[in-house]
Structure 1
Amino acid sequence: MEEQIFEVAGPAHVLDLREVDRTCIEVVGGKGANLEELAKLEGIRVPDGFCVSTTAFKQVMGATQIGESGAPRSTTEATRRPR
């Protein structure tokens, strides 16, 4: 099977967690948007990380048909399938 490379047009689709906050919920989703808010709380440690934009996520999911019936439900299941 050939390796697929996806290019997503538009603004940056991988954002440093330090660049997002709850105002970015439409761009990175609720979990990503709230991680930096958690990091601001005293005593809460959030490791460095990144968020993939919801636009990029949807484009890759659509292009690969991941999530449709018959698609692997987990990474473990996906790695067991012959290629």
Structure 2
Amino acid sequence: MNQVNVSGEGQPGRFSLFMASKAGRALRVALGAALRGAGVFAVEGWAGIALAAAGVVPIVTGALNLCPVAPLWGGHFLGAKYCAARPPKR
């Protein structure tokens, strides 16, 4: 039976390492900007306002290197914890 690591310690997966990297953080900020743009310019009414507000989350998490969903699969909330776990470059 597979056990889930809920302590936030151990080896992070490739997805977590990518999301903590500069490219992953930039991707989150770009996604948030796209959501905000779509909410402001493409979607009307309350749905547009909600979409633009939701776009703030990936922008903030990318800028501050946070991952609020990582604890769900045993990861750590702070992306900086993954930076030290990266394998050395060859």
The alignment's TM-score, normalised by the length of structure 2, stands at 0.27
- Relative to its length, the structure with more helix (as a share) is 2
Flag the structure with more relative contact order, 1 or 2, with Cα contacts below 8 A and sequence separation at least 6: 2
The alignment's TM-score, normalised by the length of structure 1, stands at 0.28
